[in-house]
Protein backbone atom coordinates (compact mmCIF):
# COMPACT_ATOMS: atom_id res chain seq x y z
CA UNK A 1 0.00 0.00 0.00
CA UNK A 2 1.36 3.43 -1.00
CA UNK A 3 0.91 6.14 1.61
CA UNK A 4 0.96 9.89 0.86
CA UNK A 5 4.55 11.18 0.95
CA UNK A 6 3.71 13.63 3.78
CA UNK A 7 2.69 10.75 6.12
CA UNK A 8 4.63 7.97 7.85
CA UNK A 9 5.24 5.31 5.18
CA UNK A 10 4.28 2.26 7.26
CA UNK A 11 2.45 1.38 10.44
CA UNK A 12 4.89 1.80 13.32
CA UNK A 13 5.23 -1.19 15.65
CA UNK A 14 7.74 0.57 17.93
CA UNK A 15 6.84 4.21 18.47
CA UNK A 16 9.26 6.50 20.31
CA UNK A 17 8.41 10.03 21.52
CA UNK A 18 11.29 11.44 19.40
CA UNK A 19 10.08 9.72 16.24
CA UNK A 20 6.48 10.74 16.90
CA UNK A 21 7.58 14.34 17.51
CA UNK A 22 9.14 14.52 14.05
CA UNK A 23 6.05 13.15 12.25
CA UNK A 24 3.69 15.84 10.97
CA UNK A 25 0.70 14.63 12.97
CA UNK A 26 -1.66 16.62 15.18
CA UNK A 27 -4.63 15.62 17.40
CA UNK A 28 -7.77 14.84 15.36
CA UNK A 29 -11.11 13.56 16.71
CA UNK A 30 -11.24 13.08 20.52
CA UNK A 31 -11.35 9.45 21.76
CA UNK A 32 -13.58 8.64 24.76
CA UNK A 33 -12.06 6.50 27.52
CA UNK A 34 -8.54 5.08 27.67
CA UNK A 35 -8.69 3.75 24.11
CA UNK A 36 -5.83 5.57 22.40
CA UNK A 37 -5.52 8.72 20.32
CA UNK A 38 -6.57 9.73 16.82
CA UNK A 39 -4.05 11.87 14.97
CA UNK A 40 -4.38 13.60 11.59
CA UNK A 41 -1.65 14.38 9.07
CA UNK A 42 -1.26 18.18 8.99
CA UNK A 43 -0.78 18.09 5.21
CA UNK A 44 -3.27 15.53 3.84
CA UNK A 45 -5.72 14.89 6.74
CA UNK A 46 -5.06 11.11 6.71
CA UNK A 47 -6.14 9.68 10.09
CA UNK A 48 -3.69 7.75 12.27
CA UNK A 49 -4.44 5.75 15.42
CA UNK A 50 -1.95 5.75 18.30
CA UNK A 51 -2.46 2.84 20.73
CA UNK A 52 -3.40 3.77 24.32
CA UNK A 53 0.09 2.87 25.62
CA UNK A 54 1.63 4.93 22.75
CA UNK A 55 3.70 1.98 21.48
CA UNK A 56 2.09 1.46 18.05
CA UNK A 57 0.79 3.71 15.27
CA UNK A 58 -1.66 2.55 12.59
CA UNK A 59 -2.94 4.26 9.46
CA UNK A 60 -6.74 4.43 9.26
CA UNK A 61 -7.79 3.38 5.73
CA UNK A 62 -9.87 6.25 4.25
CA UNK A 63 -12.94 4.02 3.77
CA UNK A 64 -12.89 3.11 7.49
CA UNK A 65 -12.47 6.69 8.73
CA UNK A 66 -16.19 7.51 9.28
CA UNK A 67 -16.70 4.44 11.52
CA UNK A 68 -13.41 5.02 13.34
CA UNK A 69 -14.64 8.52 14.21
CA UNK A 70 -17.96 7.09 15.47
CA UNK A 71 -16.04 4.43 17.47
CA UNK A 72 -13.94 7.20 19.04
CA UNK A 73 -16.97 9.10 20.36
CA UNK A 74 -18.10 6.35 22.76
CA UNK A 75 -17.36 2.67 23.58
CA UNK A 76 -19.41 0.28 21.45
CA UNK A 77 -21.08 -2.93 22.70
CA UNK A 78 -23.48 -5.39 21.05
CA UNK A 79 -27.12 -5.56 22.23
CA UNK A 80 -28.17 -8.04 24.94
CA UNK A 81 -29.66 -10.44 22.37
CA UNK A 82 -26.21 -10.84 20.81
CA UNK A 83 -24.45 -11.23 24.19
CA UNK A 84 -26.92 -14.05 25.01
CA UNK A 85 -25.78 -15.98 21.90
CA UNK A 86 -22.06 -15.83 22.60
CA UNK A 87 -21.83 -18.85 24.88
CA UNK A 88 -23.29 -21.21 22.26
CA UNK A 89 -20.91 -19.85 19.59
CA UNK A 90 -17.72 -20.04 21.66
CA UNK A 91 -14.77 -17.64 21.61
CA UNK A 92 -11.50 -17.65 19.70
CA UNK A 93 -8.82 -15.79 21.65
CA UNK A 94 -5.89 -14.21 19.85
CA UNK A 95 -2.76 -15.85 21.25
CA UNK A 96 -0.04 -15.06 18.75
CA UNK A 97 2.48 -12.31 19.16
CA UNK A 98 2.63 -9.56 16.57
CA UNK A 99 -1.05 -8.68 16.54
CA UNK A 100 -1.87 -5.51 18.46
CA UNK A 101 -3.57 -6.10 21.82
CA UNK A 102 -6.15 -8.49 23.17
CA UNK A 103 -8.95 -9.82 20.97
CA UNK A 104 -11.78 -12.31 21.29
CA UNK A 105 -13.79 -13.35 18.22
CA UNK A 106 -17.19 -15.03 17.73
CA UNK A 107 -18.05 -16.28 14.20
CA UNK A 108 -21.71 -16.69 13.32
CA UNK A 109 -24.60 -15.69 11.12
CA UNK A 110 -25.81 -12.20 11.87
CA UNK A 111 -28.18 -9.43 10.93
CA UNK A 112 -27.94 -5.66 11.24
CA UNK A 113 -30.49 -3.45 12.97
CA UNK A 114 -31.74 -2.33 9.56
CA UNK A 115 -32.46 -5.95 8.59
CA UNK A 116 -29.47 -6.82 6.43
CA UNK A 117 -28.38 -10.48 6.64
CA UNK A 118 -24.67 -11.15 7.31
CA UNK A 119 -23.97 -14.79 6.32
CA UNK A 120 -20.39 -14.61 7.64
CA UNK A 121 -20.34 -12.29 10.62
CA UNK A 122 -17.29 -12.15 12.88
CA UNK A 123 -17.89 -10.27 16.13
CA UNK A 124 -14.59 -9.16 17.62
CA UNK A 125 -14.05 -7.65 21.06
CA UNK A 126 -10.80 -5.72 20.75
CA UNK A 127 -8.81 -2.87 22.23
CA UNK A 128 -8.42 -0.74 19.10
CA UNK A 129 -10.59 0.96 16.47
CA UNK A 130 -12.43 -0.76 13.56
CA UNK A 131 -9.62 -0.82 10.96
CA UNK A 132 -10.38 -4.38 9.78
CA UNK A 133 -7.68 -4.70 7.12
CA UNK A 134 -8.65 -7.23 4.46
CA UNK A 135 -12.24 -7.71 5.67
CA UNK A 136 -15.08 -7.20 3.21
CA UNK A 137 -16.89 -4.77 5.47
CA UNK A 138 -16.44 -3.44 9.00
CA UNK A 139 -19.36 -2.47 11.29
CA UNK A 140 -19.69 -1.37 14.90
CA UNK A 141 -21.29 -3.69 17.47
CA UNK A 142 -24.08 -1.18 18.07
CA UNK A 143 -25.21 -1.78 14.47
CA UNK A 144 -25.74 -5.52 15.08
CA UNK A 145 -29.21 -6.88 15.97
CA UNK A 146 -28.63 -10.65 15.96
CA UNK A 147 -25.87 -13.26 15.95
CA UNK A 148 -26.43 -17.02 15.91
CA UNK A 149 -24.32 -20.16 15.38
CA UNK A 150 -23.47 -20.86 11.72
CA UNK A 151 -22.78 -24.25 10.10
CA UNK A 152 -19.87 -22.59 8.28
CA UNK A 153 -18.23 -21.66 11.59
CA UNK A 154 -15.36 -23.94 12.61
CA UNK A 155 -15.75 -25.57 16.06
CA UNK A 156 -14.30 -23.46 18.90
CA UNK A 157 -11.53 -25.95 19.80
CA UNK A 158 -10.32 -26.17 16.19
CA UNK A 159 -10.42 -22.39 15.81
CA UNK A 160 -8.45 -21.95 19.00
CA UNK A 161 -5.72 -24.34 17.85
CA UNK A 162 -5.42 -22.46 14.53
CA UNK A 163 -4.45 -19.35 16.53
CA UNK A 164 -1.32 -20.99 17.98
CA UNK A 165 0.07 -22.85 15.00
CA UNK A 166 3.74 -22.24 14.47
CA UNK A 167 4.94 -20.78 11.19
CA UNK A 168 6.64 -23.67 9.43
CA UNK A 169 8.19 -21.65 6.59
CA UNK A 170 6.90 -20.20 3.27
CA UNK A 171 4.45 -18.13 5.32
CA UNK A 172 2.49 -21.22 6.30
CA UNK A 173 1.15 -22.01 9.77
CA UNK A 174 -0.88 -25.17 9.29
CA UNK A 175 -3.44 -26.90 11.51
CA UNK A 176 -4.24 -30.40 10.20
CA UNK A 177 -7.94 -31.23 10.32
CA UNK A 178 -10.09 -34.10 9.09
CA UNK A 179 -13.30 -33.92 7.03
CA UNK A 180 -16.21 -36.35 7.70
CA UNK A 181 -15.08 -38.57 4.77
CA UNK A 182 -11.66 -39.00 6.44
CA UNK A 183 -9.85 -36.65 4.10
CA UNK A 184 -7.02 -34.61 5.63
CA UNK A 185 -6.97 -30.85 5.08
CA UNK A 186 -4.78 -28.05 6.38
CA UNK A 187 -6.07 -24.78 7.77
CA UNK A 188 -3.54 -21.98 7.28
CA UNK A 189 -3.26 -19.42 10.12
CA UNK A 190 -6.41 -18.55 12.06
CA UNK A 191 -9.60 -19.82 10.39
CA UNK A 192 -13.12 -19.02 11.65
CA UNK A 193 -15.27 -20.04 8.65
CA UNK A 194 -14.97 -22.94 6.22
CA UNK A 195 -17.11 -24.03 3.26
CA UNK A 196 -15.29 -25.91 0.53
CA UNK A 197 -15.19 -29.37 -1.14
CA UNK A 198 -18.76 -29.85 0.12
CA UNK A 199 -17.52 -29.66 3.71
CA UNK A 200 -18.74 -27.13 6.28
CA UNK A 201 -16.72 -25.68 9.16
CA UNK A 202 -18.81 -27.41 11.84
CA UNK A 203 -17.77 -30.84 10.47
CA UNK A 204 -13.98 -30.37 10.72
CA UNK A 205 -12.17 -32.07 13.60
CA UNK A 206 -8.56 -31.79 14.74
CA UNK A 207 -6.45 -34.49 13.10
CA UNK A 208 -2.86 -34.01 14.29
CA UNK A 209 -0.63 -36.69 12.73
CA UNK A 210 -3.27 -39.38 12.31
CA UNK A 211 -4.06 -39.01 8.59
CA UNK A 212 -2.06 -38.53 5.41
CA UNK A 213 -2.10 -34.92 4.18
CA UNK A 214 -1.92 -33.60 0.67
CA UNK A 215 0.25 -30.50 0.58
CA UNK A 216 -2.15 -28.92 -1.94
CA UNK A 217 -5.12 -29.04 0.43
CA UNK A 218 -4.34 -25.81 2.24
CA UNK A 219 -7.11 -23.36 3.11
CA UNK A 220 -6.72 -19.85 4.48
CA UNK A 221 -9.51 -17.60 5.70
CA UNK A 222 -11.05 -15.51 2.92
CA UNK A 223 -11.39 -12.29 4.91
CA UNK A 224 -13.07 -10.48 2.04
CA UNK A 225 -16.11 -12.77 2.48
CA UNK A 226 -16.47 -11.76 6.15
CA UNK A 227 -18.19 -8.81 7.81
CA UNK A 228 -16.12 -7.84 10.85
CA UNK A 229 -18.15 -6.33 13.69
CA UNK A 230 -16.05 -4.52 16.29
CA UNK A 231 -16.93 -4.20 19.99
CA UNK A 232 -14.85 -2.74 22.78
CA UNK A 233 -12.65 -5.04 24.82
CA UNK A 234 -14.14 -6.40 28.02
CA UNK A 235 -12.10 -8.65 30.35
CA UNK A 236 -15.33 -10.30 31.55
CA UNK A 237 -15.81 -11.95 28.17
CA UNK A 238 -12.69 -14.07 28.76
CA UNK A 239 -15.00 -16.47 30.62
CA UNK A 240 -16.19 -17.65 27.19
CA UNK A 241 -12.70 -18.75 26.15
CA UNK A 242 -12.28 -22.25 24.84
CA UNK A 243 -9.68 -24.31 26.74
CA UNK A 244 -6.86 -25.76 24.64
CA UNK A 245 -7.09 -29.54 24.19
CA UNK A 246 -4.51 -31.37 26.29
CA UNK A 247 -1.16 -32.15 24.66
CA UNK A 248 -1.13 -29.03 22.49
CA UNK A 249 1.52 -26.51 23.43
CA UNK A 250 0.78 -22.84 23.26
CA UNK A 251 2.77 -20.66 20.89
CA UNK A 252 4.77 -19.35 23.85
CA UNK A 253 5.56 -22.81 25.21
CA UNK A 254 6.76 -23.97 21.83
CA UNK A 255 8.85 -20.84 21.30
CA UNK A 256 10.45 -21.38 24.71
CA UNK A 257 11.27 -25.03 23.94
CA UNK A 258 12.91 -24.00 20.67
CA UNK A 259 14.91 -21.34 22.46
CA UNK A 260 16.18 -23.78 25.10
CA UNK A 261 17.36 -26.22 22.44
CA UNK A 262 19.36 -23.58 20.59
CA UNK A 263 23.04 -23.94 21.58
Applying CB under 5 A, the residues found at the interface with Zn ion are: 4, 6-7, 41, 43-44, 46
**Least Cβ distance, residue 247 to Zn ion (angstroms):** 50
CB closer to Zn ion out of 43 and 113: 43
CB-nearest residue to Zn ion: 41
CB closer to Zn ion out of 63 and 84: 63
**Least Cβ distance, residue 41 to Zn ion (angstroms):** 3
**Least Cβ distance, residue 60 to Zn ion (angstroms):** 12
**Least Cβ distance, residue 65 to Zn ion (angstroms):** 13
Task: Write the burial class of residue 195 (CB in 10 Å: 0-12 exposed, 13-18 middle, 19+ buried).
Answer: middle
First vs last C-alpha separation in the chain: 40
**Least Cβ distance, residue 19 to Zn ion (angstroms):** 16
Rounded CA-CA distance 254/108 in Å is 31
CB closer to Zn ion out of 33 and 62: 62
**Least Cβ distance, residue 4 to Zn ion (angstroms):** 4
CB closer to Zn ion out of 44 and 205: 44
CB closer to Zn ion out of 41 and 121: 41
CB closer to Zn ion out of 7 and 229: 7
Amino acid sequence: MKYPACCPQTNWMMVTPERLGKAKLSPAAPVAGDRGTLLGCTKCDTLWYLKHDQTQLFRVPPDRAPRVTTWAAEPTQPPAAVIDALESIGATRRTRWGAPGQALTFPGRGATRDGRELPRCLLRFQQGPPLGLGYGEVLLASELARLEPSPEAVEPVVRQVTTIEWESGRGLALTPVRAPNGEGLNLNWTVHFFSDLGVLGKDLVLARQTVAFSSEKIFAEDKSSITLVVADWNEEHLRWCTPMPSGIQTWMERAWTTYERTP
